[in-house]
């Protein structure tokens, strides 16, 4: 049987919101399309077709989508469906020649030689793409000679050839109902506060309640240049408890940002540059976890101590090749907390530099290494001496953090993948090192898509802290501070319609320490809906 070169697409990733790299559940049409392109590059053609169908169900109906579905059907040996999809791409001038050539390949695979020759002749007689013209000539000659086909090849259609809407609005809102069995993260058992042993035994009150989680995001993108767009975005996230006596646990955050997105893809190379200036307002109550009451100092309420406004620029850069991806993230922010008259404020400067490299060993496995350093430099908090006292004459706190993370991902089946990551973080207290620590973390993640509309994701993370100098309760008569924590999260997502999804989530958190003030155990369950446009 005659073999011929196969023309496919450079699988044009649509401009995606930043994410995730990468969860696949309940995404927009563009995100489904981009994920389908990724799966195609990984030679997971059936999974790619699933994503393309989901993009179509979400409202995408473009010649490019039909073209990608056509070549994926061809690779999956579904030749009749490939013919149908490729035929719908003929109307786009940017894809016409490529579609003609692929229709020739597809007809040959069906054994319809005359039809194959017809399509190859159309590709041969055009003057738009010389490479396709030459391969069409070879294909015609080798059909006639019944010779072996040339090697397979992919014709990469660049992102710039795809027509983009001048403006694009994306919107997402999620609302639900939840149950929280430890609203204020209270310790479970009575304890003696060793920071002041003369005080009576503290008996925490663990309180349970219902709450409403709410999140909303909107982004308006203007594609004013060939590879670059400018955007404004807004995000709201909050948690609101139903009972009045639990309202101190309410918290929310507004965030507005504006910036630019640059994305260019040529062959197997892709470059992304994202810049933004972000302003966020955060509101929560500074409460006593033992009973949930607002904190006061000498009778003066300081319940707004944790409210802040933060702002600053950031830059993300990503360069990817066929197997290798490298990237960087730079951020600088000012965190301006609520003014306090009688206690130090939390105002500080924040700087971050993150670098990462990722290598894909096979279409179904990858490895990533991430290195980052960040710093928090406070303007009104005195550093701690080695005896645990934050004396006013001491310089202000500066904590520098350095971390290295290793991540691995492995796809087992088209609808199942898992991964794990390990991380070591070191914090350096730049005064005398009282609050230095080393944190070792390990995480496991599993993602399963048992059907077109259903996704399940599970993740667990464990942290172990080592404080070489700090004392429990900051009391030098106590042993060195110990702390470890764990978090488990399970999310199930069912897409009911094109825009509406039902989401169930369970979360467990636990912190264990010889400083009983920070110990707690917490379970949260939520059921909600998400609307995406």
pLDDT tens string 450-480: 877 889 999 999 999 999 999 999 999 999 9
- CA–CA distances in Å: residue 64 to residues 37, 88, 169, 358, 520: 11, 9, 20, 28, 53
Say how many Å lie between the first and final Cα of the chain, rounded. 48
| The pLDDT value given to residue 266 | 77
Q: Which of 132-141, 188-197, 345-354, 395-404 has the lowest mean pLDDT?
A: 132-141
Q: What is the 3-state secondary structure (H, E, C) of 321-356?
A: CCCEEEEEEEEEEEEEECCCCCCCCCCEEEEEEEEE
The half-sphere exposure of 326 on its side-chain side, counting CA atoms within 13 A, is: 1
Task: Evaluate the CA torsion angle 245, 248, 249, 255 in order and state its sign.
Answer: positive
User: Which residues, listed in sequence order, are joined to residue 368 by a DSSP beta bridge?
Assistant: 358, 407
pLDDT at position 157 over 50: no
Q: Where are the domains of the chain?
A: 29-157, 167-532
What is the average per-residue pLDDT within 191-206?
90
Residues in the chain: 533
pLDDT at position 137 over 80: yes
Gap between the Cα atoms of 157 and 505, Å rounded: 40
Q: Work out the pLDDT band at 14, boundaries 50, 70, 90.
A: very low
Gap between the Cα atoms of 231 and 119, Å rounded: 43
What is the average per-residue pLDDT within 338-361?
94
What integer best gives the mean pLDDT of the chain? 88
Which of 53, 58, 300 lies closest to 172, judged by CA?
58
Interval 220-268: pLDDT, tens: 988 778 788 899 999 999 999 999 999 999 999 999 999 999 988 876 7
Instruction: With H, G, I as helix, E, B as strand and everything else as coil, classify residue 448.
Output: strand
Query: Which residues have CB under 8 Å from 197's CB, separation 6+?
Result: none
What is the average per-residue pLDDT within 413-432?
93
Choose which CATH entry (1.10.10.60, 1.25.40.10, 3.40.50.1220, 3.20.20.60) describes domain 29-157.
1.25.40.10
Same CATH topology for 29-157 and 167-532: the answer is no
| The pLDDT value given to residue 118 | 87
What is the average per-residue pLDDT within 137-166?
53
Gap between the Cα atoms of 354 and 425, Å rounded: 13
Gap between the Cα atoms of 10 and 371, Å rounded: 30
DSSP for 114-152, please give it. Answer: HHHHHHHHHHHH-SS-HHHHHHHHHHHHHHHHTPPPPPP
pLDDT at position 45 over 50: yes
DSSP for 250-300, please give it. Answer: -EEEEEEEEEEEEEEEETTEEEEEEEEEEEEEEEE--B-TTT-PBPEETTE
CATH superfamily of 167-532: monomeric porin ompg (2.40.160.40)
| The pLDDT value given to residue 26 | 61
Q: Kindly report the backbone phi and psi dihedral angles of residue 53, in degrees, each rounded to the nearest multiple of 5, phi listed first.
A: -65, -40
pLDDT at position 174 over 50: yes
Interval 117-132: pLDDT, tens: 889 888 888 877 888 8
What is the average per-residue pLDDT within 422-429?
98
pLDDT at position 153 over 60: no
């Amino acid at each position: 049987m005659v073999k011929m070169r196969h023309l496919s697409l450079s699988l044009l990733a649509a401009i995606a919101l930043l994410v995730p790299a990468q969860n696949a559940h309940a995404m927009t049409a563009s995100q489904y399309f981009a994920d389908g392109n990724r799966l195609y590059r990984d030679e997971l053609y059936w999974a790619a077709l699933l994503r393309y169908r989901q993009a179509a169900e979400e409202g995408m109906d473009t010649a490019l989508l039909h073209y990608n579905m056509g070549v994926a059907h061809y690779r999956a040996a579904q030749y009749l469906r490939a013919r149908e999809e490729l035929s719908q791409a003929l109307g786009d001038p940017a894809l016409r020649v490529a579609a003609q050539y692929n229709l020739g390949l597809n007809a040959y695979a069906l054994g319809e030689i005359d039809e194959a020759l017809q399509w190859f002749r159309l590709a041969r007689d055009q003057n738009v793409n010389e490479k396709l013209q030459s391969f069409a000539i070879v294909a015609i000659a080798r059909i006639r000679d019944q010779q072996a086909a040339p090697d397979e090849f992919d014709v990469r259609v660049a992102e710039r050839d795809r027509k983009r809407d001048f403006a694009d609005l994306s919107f997402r809102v999620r609302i639900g109902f939840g149950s929280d069995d430890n609203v204020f993260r209270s310790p479970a058992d009575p304890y003696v506060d060793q920071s002041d042993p003369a005080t009576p035994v503290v008996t925490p009150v663990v309180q349970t309640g219902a709450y409403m989680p709410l999140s909303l995001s909107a982004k308006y993108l203007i594609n004013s240049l060939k590879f670059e767009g400018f955007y404004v975005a807004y995000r709201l996230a909050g948690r609101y408890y139903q009972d009045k006596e639990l309202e101190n646990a309410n918290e929310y955050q507004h965030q507005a940002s504006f910036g630019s997105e640059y994305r260019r893809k040529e062959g197997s190379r892709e470059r992304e540059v994202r810049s933004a200036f972000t302003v966020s307002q955060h509101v929560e109550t500074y409460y006593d976890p033992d009973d949930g009451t607002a904190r006061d100092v000498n009778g003066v309420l300081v319940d707004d101590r944790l409210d802040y406004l933060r702002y600053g620029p950031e830059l993300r850069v990503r360069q990817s090749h066929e197997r290798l991806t490298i990237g960087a993230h730079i951020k600088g922010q000012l965190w301006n907390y609520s003014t306090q008259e009688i206690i130090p404020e939390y105002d500080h400067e924040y700087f971050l530099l993150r670098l990462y490299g990722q290598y894909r060993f096979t279409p179904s496995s990858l490895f990533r290494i991430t290195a980052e350093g960040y710093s928090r430099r406070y303007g009104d908090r005195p550093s701690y001496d080695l005896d645990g006292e934050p004396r006013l004459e001491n310089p202000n706190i500066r904590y520098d953090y350095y971390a290295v993370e290793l991540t691995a991902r492995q796809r087992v089946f088209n609808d199942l993948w898992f991964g794990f990551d390990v991380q070591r973080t070191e914090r350096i207290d730049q005064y005398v090192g009282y609050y230095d620590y080393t944190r070792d973390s390990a995480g496991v993640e599993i993602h399963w898509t048992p059907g077109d509309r259903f996704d399940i994701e599970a993740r667990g993370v464990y942290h172990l802290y080592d404080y070489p100098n700090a004392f429990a309760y900051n009391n030098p008569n106590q042993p060195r501070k110990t702390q470890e924590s764990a978090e488990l999260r399970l999310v199930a997502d069912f897409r009911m319609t094109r825009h509406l999804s039902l989401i169930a989530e369970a979360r467990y958190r636990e912190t264990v320490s010889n400083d009983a003030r920070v110990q707690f155990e917490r379970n949260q369950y939520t059921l909600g809906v998400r609307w995406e446009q």
